[in-house]
Structure 1
Amino acid sequence: MTAPIRLARPDVGEAELRAVAEVLGSGQLTMGPKVGEFECAVAGAVGTRDAVAVANGTAALHLALLALGVGPGDEVVVPAYTFPATANAVRLCGAEAVLVDVDPETFVVDAEAVADAVTSRTRAVMAVHLFGRPVDWDALRAVVSERVLLVEDAAGALGARSRGRPCGSLGVAGCLSFHPRKIVTTGEGGAVTTDDPEIAAAVRRLRHHGIVADGTNDIPVPGFNYRLADVLCALGIPQVERLEELLAGRERAASWYAERLGDVVGTPSAAEGDRHGWQAYVVRVDRRDELLAALRAEGIEVQIGTYALHRLGAYRDQGAFPGAQRAYERALALPFAATTTEDEVDRVCTALLGRLGRS
């Protein structure tokens, strides 16, 4: 039987094993020195003053919005095609997630669509670098008022760059994820990146029950237990150190896919002058659901790209979003990792092209 090809496979090795073993041996599995060490590494990679490690990417989104004062009565603009956590975090703050359509070819929002959605109640825009493709940041900033906060959902964009600037450093705050499908993983984990010390301090309080770190142990505002454990931060430190190596592996796999599929299906890319973060390799195909089932039957793990929020019960009351609908219906995520081999790409492409009648 041919071995299955997994959708994603984290690239962890001896350095990660040693780092985790060191923490296990120390007995201090949480609230220890590895958290700060990991935060410094992430801040250095993104180029921000601060990075605050939290439990996962959703926690990063939630705490970033709370730290910015987003709450009841506010609106936050969110792409209609994104992972639901983006909109869920807005709702968890008591604010309204206002959906806007996306370009079905790039999967990211158009700046003019965002500008049209801004009202007097708009507090922030969640700009999602979906699958690692940077949003056109200059265009977005040019059409959105300075009073509206721009927050990056950079969950899949660590290492990506917009006109040479690292994603995660573009907005007032950036939100990262370290899920195993991301380029750098801690198993589960996330971070808020920012140049604003007050935002960083607020996120640090909120992740630890709201406790003020001034010796009083006061809790002026209730918080959460959104901490990231030392043992997971230890895993992440060598991962961040290997960021360029990991990104190069994904760029290599992306080039193999593009060479084999570029004339047949819609393949992902970044805009000129940008660097794609390659969190996932998502192609655009007709008959997506049919291909999904067929490839899975051949032992090839594939997945939908992500969700069209207006199709979900929680967000179904905002009208039609044809770009998001088309993106959802056609997006197919192929097996993709820094460790993906050329033989695996050949097998995936042979199966896909055969189903498309292009073998």
Structure 2
Amino acid sequence: MIKLSKPYITDQCISNVVEVLRSGNLVQGQFVNQLENDVKSYLGVKHAFAVSSGTAALHLALIALGIGPGDEVIVPAFTFPATANVVELVGATTVLVDINLDDFCIDTSKIEQAITPKTKAIMPVHEFGQAAKMDDIIQLAQKYNLNIVEDAACALGAEFGSKKVGTFGELGCFSLHPRKAITSGEGGILVTNKDDIAEKVAMYRNHGIVYKDSKLDFEVAGLNYRLTDFQAALCIPQLEMLTELIECRIKQANFYNDFLGCTSNIKTPVVFDNRKMVFQTYHILLSDDINRDLLIATLKEHEIEVNFGAQALNALKYYSNKYSYKYSDCPNAFRARVQGLALPLGMHLNDADIKYISSTIKKVLCKY
């Protein structure tokens, strides 16, 4: 079976983990510190916090901004539910805005009409490793005095203009899940350039602990969102190879484009001149006459694992029940959910695999 994705775990990754396990120092040790420093250097930010998941990073971001009951947060309708779930967890109101079907990111032309006096933040998602239109989002945030929390879970290394995503807003949140380019198993990174926000993140990440005058105290009811040292140790060699890992994905995406780009019932990913896409996922959009779920099953019979890309939040039971969202409220998100398809990508593949996957898809689609 050609897997949809597979973590790239080197011998050095394994050696690092063994070193930590043998040391007995399993939590918040030297490798966590190194990972945080390496991320700060890579992104050019003042503060980076390794946390237990990308969801934890998003949750901490909203807590650090003081967002809660009575506040509204704008979220793209097409994303993994964690983006909106953390809004619900802090007691705020989720306001969904549709996406566009070129980059699968929030449609910035539709954000302003969703802003109310209760809006406190915009949470753009850099979907599939593609940067959202951050210039438009920054302009709106400044106009209405809104915070920006970037969900860059899929997009470590992606750029808008000459700047890396996750560094535009008050906070940026990354995932280290196994589907991502680099992984710690479960894990995440939260970054910020603001000292006051960093102080709150550090406190809430670790049970509300604060050290003053060499004395420990608990100033808030905090959480345990720490990353273990052996998870950080697993991740560091991959981070050192990130440029190579991204280049591999871009090369494979270009290969897919060569094979699938002229197929009439497939829309391949759009590449923009002023954005660097890192292709966490190679996501195609099928024409409406294609039964996407049947195609998934057929490709599985050919030993190819594929899957849908993300969820249309307006179609999920929780959000449709609570907010009375209908499919028609965010039609692009719904279409992306039912006609989108994620293809295998990563260092576990070679050119022959990409050619086989592409040719098999074209042969199956010829029957439609």
**TM-score after normalising by structure 2:** 0.94
CA deviation vs aligned residue, 1:160-199 (integer Å, no higher than 9, x gap) = 0000100111111000000011111111100111101221
Tell me whether 120-129 or 12-21 shows the greater mean CA deviation. Answer: 12-21
1:200 shift after superposition = 1.6
- Once the two structures are aligned, what percentage of the paired residues are identical? 41
Q: Deviations over 1:312-356 (max 9, x none)?
A: 111112342111111112110011113321111111112110111
Kindly report which structure 2 residues correspond to 1:334-349, keeping only aligned pairs within 5 A, or say none: 334-349=343-358
**Alpha-carbon separation, structure 2, partners of 1:351 and 1:308:** 28
Aligned to 1:162: 160
**Alignment counterpart, residue 328 of structure 1, candidates 322, 330, 337:** 337
**Whole-Å separation in 1 of the counterparts to 2:154 and 2:367:** 31
| 1:220 CA drift (Å) | 2.0
Question: CA–CA distance in 1 between the matches of 2:105 and 2:237?
Answer: 31
Q: Write the deviation string for residues 205-245 of structure 1: whole angstroms up to 9, x where unpaired.
A: 11111111334332221111111000000111111111101
Cα drift, residue 269 of structure 1: 3.0
Aligned residues: 356
- SS of match in other structure, 2:74: strand
Distance 2:260 2:354 in 1: 10
1:259 maps to which residue? Answer: 258
- CA distance in structure 1 between the aligned counterparts of 2:146 and 2:338, rounded to whole angstroms: 32
Counterpart for residue 325 of structure 2: 318
1:34 to 24, 31, 35: 31
Partners of 2:13 and 2:111 lie apart in 1 by: 41
Could you report, residue by residue, the CA deviation over 1:257-278 in whole angstroms, capped at 9, with x for unpaired residues?
1110111121113321110021
Residue of structure 1 aligned with 2:361, choices 331, 347, 352: 352
Distance 1:152 1:326 in 2: 24
- Matching of residue 293 in structure 1 with residue 297 in structure 2: yes
Question: Which residue is equivalent to 2:284?
Answer: 283
Letter in 1 for 2:259: R
**1:15 to 2:12 alignment:** yes
1:17-166 alignment runs, 5 A limit: 17-144=14-141, 145-166=143-164
Instruction: Answer yes or no: is the 8 Å Cα contact 2:315–2:325 preserved in 1.
Output: no
C-alpha distance in 1, partners of 2:24/2:140? 52
- State whether residues 247 and 338 of structure 1, in contact with CA within 8 Å, keep that contact through their aligned partners in structure 2: no
| Whole-Å separation in 1 of the counterparts to 2:76 and 2:297 | 27
**What letter matches 2:273 in structure 1?**
E
The answer (yes or no) to whether the contact 1:205–1:213 under 8 Å persists in 2 is no
Corresponding letter in the other structure for 1:199: I
AA in 1 matched with 2:363: G
Q: In structure 2, how many angstroms separate the alpha carbons of the residues matched to 1:146 and 1:217? A: 39
SS at 1:108 equivalent: coil
User: For residues 204-283 of structure 1, what are the structure 2 equivalents within 5 Å?
Assistant: 204-214=202-212, 215-264=214-263, 265-283=266-284
Cα separation, 1, equivalents of 2:4 and 2:53: 20
Q: How far is the alpha carbon of 1:86 from its aligned partner?
A: 0.1
Instruction: Give the aligned residue type for 2:23.
Output: S
Q: Greater shift after overlay, 85-94 or 236-245?
A: 236-245
Could you tell me how far 1:297 is from its partner in structure 2? 2.0
Q: Deviations over 1:73-94 (max 9, x none)?
A: 1000000111000000110111
1:213 counterpart SS class: strand
Distance 1:292 1:127 in 2: 29
Conserved 8 A contact 2:103-2:132: no
Task: Provide the rounded CA distance (Å) in 2 between the counterparts of 1:339 and 1:170.
Answer: 32
SS at match of 1:212: strand
What TM-score does the superposition give when structure 1 sets the normalisation length?
0.96
Q: Distance in 2 between matches of 1:148 and 1:338?
A: 39
Equivalent residue for 1:309, pick from 306, 309, 313: 313
Query: Which range is displaced more, 78-87 or 40-49?
Result: 40-49
Q: Which consecutive residues of structure 1, in runs of 5 or more, have no partner in the other structure?
A: none
Name the amino acid aligned to 2:220: V
Shift of 1:358: 8.1
Alpha carbons of structure 1 residues 74 and 10: separation in structure 2 relative to 1, 3 Å: same
Q: Which amino acid aligns with 1:256?
A: F
Distance 2:167 2:200 in 1: 18
2: CA distance, partners of 1:105 / 1:136: 12
Structure 2 residue runs without a partner (length 5+)? none
Cα deviation, residue 146, structure 1 = 5.0
Distance 1:105 1:274, change over 3 A: closer
Distance 2:153 2:59 in 1: 13
Q: In the alignment, is the contact (CA less than 8 A) between 2:122 and 2:148 conserved in 1? A: yes
Secondary structure of the residue that 1:134 maps to in structure 2?
A: coil
CA distance in 2, matches of 1:118, 1:283: 31
